[in-house]
């Protein structure tokens, strides 16, 4: 960048794409009447499990109410992620968390095999 360009840029870029301030405020507020569950490890595991079921086509889309088309590679990736979490957190989980993770993986693996038939 030359010395001349640094002193007089000539124009200013302003990105006006995206949401207006009002839309951002509405999006950041919690939906009325719905309290979100506390963010903990069990909730995280259940969220990943629901994602895997969605990708297997076993859970309806919350917005449209229609069952999603199965996407086995994405389901497998989510199940693999849960397996990695199981390996990396071994010995650091409560008994309840460990049991939840094991049961979730067992159920998802069975559903994955059934969906492939």
**pLDDT tens across 69-95, in order?**
899 999 999 999 999 999 999 999 999
Mean pLDDT of the chain: 83
Write out the residue range of the structural domain in which residue 53 sits.
39-117
The CA distance from 73 to 75, in Å, is 5
Q: Classify residue 25: in a domain, yes or no.
A: no
| Dihedral (CA of 36, 42, 48, 53) sign | negative
CB 74 within 8 A of CB 45: no
Q: Classify residue 5: in a domain, yes or no.
A: no
Percent share of the chain, pLDDT over 70: 74
**pLDDT tens across 13-32, in order?**
666 676 555 555 555 555 56
Q: Classify residue 2: in a domain, yes or no.
A: no
Q: Classify residue 98: in a domain, yes or no.
A: yes
How many domains are contained in the chain? 1
Q: Classify residue 89: in a domain, yes or no.
A: yes
Among 2, 100, 109, CA closest to 56: 109
Indicate if the pLDDT at residue 5 is higher than 80.
Answer: no
Q: Classify residue 78: in a domain, yes or no.
A: yes
Model confidence, pTM: 0.67
């Amino acid at each position: 960048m030359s010395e001349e360009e640094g002193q007089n840029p000539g124009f200013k870029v302003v990105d006006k794409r995206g949401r207006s301030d009002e839309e951002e405020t509405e999006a950041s507020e919690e939906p009325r009447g719905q309290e979100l569950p506390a963010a903990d490890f069990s909730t995280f595991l259940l969220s990943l499990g629901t994602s895997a079921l969605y990708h297997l086509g076993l859970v309806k889309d919350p917005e449209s109410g229609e069952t999603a088309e199965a996407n086995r590679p994405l389901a497998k990736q989510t199940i693999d992620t849960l397996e990695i979490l199981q390996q990396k957190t071994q010995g650091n989980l409560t008994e309840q968390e460990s049991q939840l993770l094991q049961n979730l993986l067992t159920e998802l693996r069975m559903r994955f095999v059934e969906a492939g038939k």
